[in-house]
Amino acid sequence: TADMVLENPDNLAETGIDIVAKPKGKRPTSITQLSGGEKTLTATALLFAIYLIKPAPFCILDEVDAPLDDANIGKFTQMIRQFSKESQFIIVTHNKMTMASVDVIYGVTMQEAGVSKLVPVDFRGLN
């Protein structure tokens, strides 16, 4: 579970928002005190909770899976798969498990100095 708490409710124009999360088996704590993986899970859970209310047409995620272990990568990719029915996801990743769960990969390679080449691989027709 998680709560969003105003840091200074008496000054709404300039207050910040603290996210207090309760990872499984732990007590509630500020997101600033969580590990990298716990921060990522909390932030993506918040993002997906917002998507349940108002999905966006697309979402760009840049290496959000980097601090996650394999078990949580599996949960993350399941959530992406579920929400990709309503939204398009562009994910920058180096994680092989994340790559293995997508419909299309666009690799970028540099075979000669200064010249990038895009290599698309479409898995949608393969079963």
Does CATH number 1.10.510.10 belong to domain 56-127?
no
Q: What's the pLDDT score for residue 127?
A: 63
What tokens does 113 get?
Answer: 């100095």
The pLDDT-based confidence of 89 (bands split at 50, 70, 90) is very high
Q: Where are the alpha helices (DSSP H) in 3-126?
A: 36-53, 70-83, 96-100
Each domain of the chain, given as residue ranges in start order, spans: 56-127
Spatial CA neighbour of 102 closest among 122, 117, 118: 122
Contact 41, 72 (CB under 8 A): yes
User: In this predicted structure, what is the pLDDT of residue 24?
Assistant: 85
Question: How large a percentage of the chain has pLDDT more than 90?
Answer: 76
Mean pLDDT of 80-99: 93
Average pLDDT over residues 2-11: 91
Residues 22-66 have pLDDT tens digits of 988 889 999 999 988 899 999 999 999 998 999 899 999 999 999
Mean pLDDT of 84-93: 93
